[in-house]
Structure 1
Amino acid sequence: MRIIDLHCDALYKIWKSGGTLAYRDAPELETSKERLAAGGVKAQCFALYVPPEVKEEHRFQAMLDQIDYFYDNVLGRNPDMKQIVEWSDFDSLGDGEIGAMLTLEGVDAIGTDPGKLRLLHRLGVRSVGLTWNHANLAADGVMEPRGAGLTSWGKEIVAFNNANRILTDVSHLSEKAFWDVIELTHYPIASHSNAKAVCDHPRNLTDEQARALFAKGATVHVIYNPPFTKKGGGASIADLIKHVDHFCALGGVRHIGLGSDLDGISSHIAGLEHAGHTGRLIEELLKHYTEDEVRGFAADNFLRRRP
């Protein structure tokens, strides 16, 4: 069964290590190439994330360093890792090959420079989340008390994404910014979010938000992060499937995908500690859903609705 994971933070971990972690098999990497292969993951999206403690003048260089690790450590040293730059590239992956696509988690590093945005697109970024959890020059994130929407610059980014068939990721946006994006975007996605009705966390989506995404033809990718999965922690795969159940009840059976956030989370769902365990989630889903539906969750829903 083809599996696509829309979000991981392996590049951040490699960058934080100063490039000492070998993407192929470093045990510290939950989404290493070896673990993706063991878990049957056919394509992995790699987020570019620069933490807020990095000084503003150093942020874009930090992002370029992560891209360099992507081209050298991920692609260059692993010939069976194939970069996804065109949406059709998902369909041309051969046996034993794993797709790799760059995404952007927060636009803080580019300031308000459209040239930097164009450069990131040329380097392979195909999904853009405007914020991480806090406010920046484009929008407010979910943890910003002000809760404002998109700025003029944020709207420019969405327009750029539309013109270039780039996904606009809503996973970290404030509710006001979310609704601004829904109004403007041609290609929305929630790359790593769960259902707020099941687990009341600011990072999760309300039923109204989920329905709006489904109405726009977007996919919502469930995240393997215990605090977003079950109140009080100690989450199991069964707890994660409750979010799938809820999204399906809202009409989302053909709009659900996977967005693990592995290498970016500090605790793990029992049995989903790294990408090599992805088959366990698939096996459990098959106990509750038809094979066609599970194929949808694993990859096909996203592939049907890509730009």
Structure 2
Amino acid sequence: MKIIDGHCDVLLKMFENSSIDFYDPLNAELDVSFAKMKRSGVKIQFFAIYLAESMKQPNFDHYLEYINIFYQKIIANGRIALIRNRTDLNNVMNGSACGAILTLEGADAIRNHSLYTQILFHLGVRLIGVTWNYANWAADGVLEPRQGGFSREGKRFIKECNDLGIILDVSHLSVKSFWDVADLSQKPFVATHSNAKEVCPHPRNLDDDQIRALLLQKGVIGITFVPWFVKEKGAVIDDLVRHIEHICALGGERQLVLGSDFDGISQWIPGLENAGQFAHLAQHLSKYYKDEWIEGFFFRNWYDFLRVNLPPG
């Protein structure tokens, strides 16, 4: 079975530890490595540029450092190809190489510079989560105490991303910011790694009205493996299935995808500790769903979204 995973933080670990080798078959530092991707059949992996919260003065050069790591240490040998547009997507699907989509998690260092956004696009970034958990120049994040929405500059940024062909990710936005995107975006948007708040009441999960709005606008929601987004304590794979069931009950069976958040977590659901273990989730889902539905969750739904919403090429 082919798999598309919509979020991982491999680049953060490689930024913090330059000795990590993504292609080392014995790699133990990464949840997502090339060998683990191949073991599960991960055909396309999204790689996030995330500047850690401990970085007090993030600047645009930090983004460039991550992008340099991505090109030099993940893309350079040809076993993983960068996907920038629909042509690249088709080439990956028809070839032997795996694919990578470069994303940005937290637009803090863009600081309302349109040139920076354009440079990121030219360097291959195709999806941006505007905030991490807190506020920046553009919007409030989900844990920002004031719980505001987008600033005037942030609202311009929504249009700029729409015009360039950059997909917007609402996973870390405040509720007000989410609804600003829903109201203002002229293109479908996504939640790459969020679960259902009705099943687990974590602030990072989406409530039913948010999920319905995202589905109505032809977006996708990525089921994530962060244990405390799945269940408040003691999450297991069957608890993850409850989120899938709930989103499907809202009409999301063709828009539910995967967004593991591997390498962004220090605790794991037993049996889903790394990218080599997606088969365990498939086995649990097979008790409840036909193969066609599981193939949709694992691959087809992301693929159908990307082939419509990536730039033509």
Displacement of 1:28 after TM fit?
0.4
Q: Deviations over 1:123-178 (max 9, x none)?
A: 00000110000000010000001000011221122111211222100000000000
Once the two structures are superposed, the pairs formed by residues 241-256 of structure 1 within 5 Å of their partners are 241-256=241-256
The corresponding residue for 1:23 is 22
Displacement of 1:303 after TM fit?
1.9
Displacement of 1:95 after TM fit?
4.9
Q: Deviations over 1:73-125 (max 9, x none)?
A: 0111x321111111342232245411011001010121121111110000000
SS of aligned partner of 1:189: coil
Q: Deviations over 1:216-270 (max 9, x none)?
A: 00110000000000112x2111111110000001111111000000000111011
Once the two structures are superposed, the pairs formed by residues 147-158 of structure 1 within 5 Å of their partners are 147-158=147-158
In the alignment, the residues of structure 2 paired with residue 212 and residue 297 of structure 1 have an alpha-carbon distance, to the nearest angstrom, of 19
The corresponding residue for 1:82 is 81
Amino acid aligned to 1:46: F
Aligned 8 A contact 2:133 2:144 in 1? yes
The corresponding residue for 2:90 is 91
The corresponding residue for 1:121 is 121
The corresponding residue for 1:291 is 291
The corresponding residue for 1:266 is 266
The corresponding residue for 2:11 is 11
SS of aligned partner of 1:276: coil
SS of aligned partner of 2:204: coil
Aligned 8 A contact 2:32 2:263 in 1? yes
The corresponding residue for 1:2 is 2
In the alignment, the residues of structure 1 paired with residue 89 and residue 286 of structure 2 have an alpha-carbon distance, to the nearest angstrom, of 24
| Structure 2: 5+ residue stretches without partners | none
In the alignment, the residues of structure 2 paired with residue 280 and residue 14 of structure 1 have an alpha-carbon distance, to the nearest angstrom, of 27
Normalised by the length of structure 2, the TM-score is: 0.94
Amino acid aligned to 1:247: I
Aligned 8 A contact 1:43 1:90 in 2? no
Sequence identity percentage: 43
In the alignment, the residues of structure 1 paired with residue 56 and residue 86 of structure 2 have an alpha-carbon distance, to the nearest angstrom, of 34
Amino acid aligned to 2:292: D
| Structure 1: 5+ residue stretches without partners | none
Aligned 8 A contact 1:168 1:189 in 2? yes
In the alignment, the residues of structure 2 paired with residue 281 and residue 270 of structure 1 have an alpha-carbon distance, to the nearest angstrom, of 11
In the alignment, the residues of structure 2 paired with residue 59 and residue 29 of structure 1 have an alpha-carbon distance, to the nearest angstrom, of 26
Normalised by the length of structure 1, the TM-score is: 0.96
Change (3 A) 1:96 1:283: farther
In the alignment, the residues of structure 2 paired with residue 140 and residue 51 of structure 1 have an alpha-carbon distance, to the nearest angstrom, of 17
Aligned 8 A contact 2:112 2:157 in 1? no
Displacement of 1:52 after TM fit?
3.0
Aligned 8 A contact 1:285 1:294 in 2? yes
In the alignment, the residues of structure 2 paired with residue 246 and residue 261 of structure 1 have an alpha-carbon distance, to the nearest angstrom, of 20
Q: Which moved more, 1:216-225 or 1:275-284?
A: 275-284
Amino acid aligned to 1:14: M
CA-based RMSD: 1.2
Amino acid aligned to 1:242: R
In the alignment, the residues of structure 2 paired with residue 83 and residue 97 of structure 1 have an alpha-carbon distance, to the nearest angstrom, of 10
Amino acid aligned to 1:240: L
The corresponding residue for 1:190 is 191
Change (3 A) 1:55 1:152: same
Displacement of 1:300 after TM fit?
1.0
The corresponding residue for 2:212 is 211
Number of residue equivalences: 303
The corresponding residue for 1:227 is 228
The corresponding residue for 1:179 is 179
In the alignment, the residues of structure 2 paired with residue 229 and residue 90 of structure 1 have an alpha-carbon distance, to the nearest angstrom, of 31
Amino acid aligned to 2:54: E
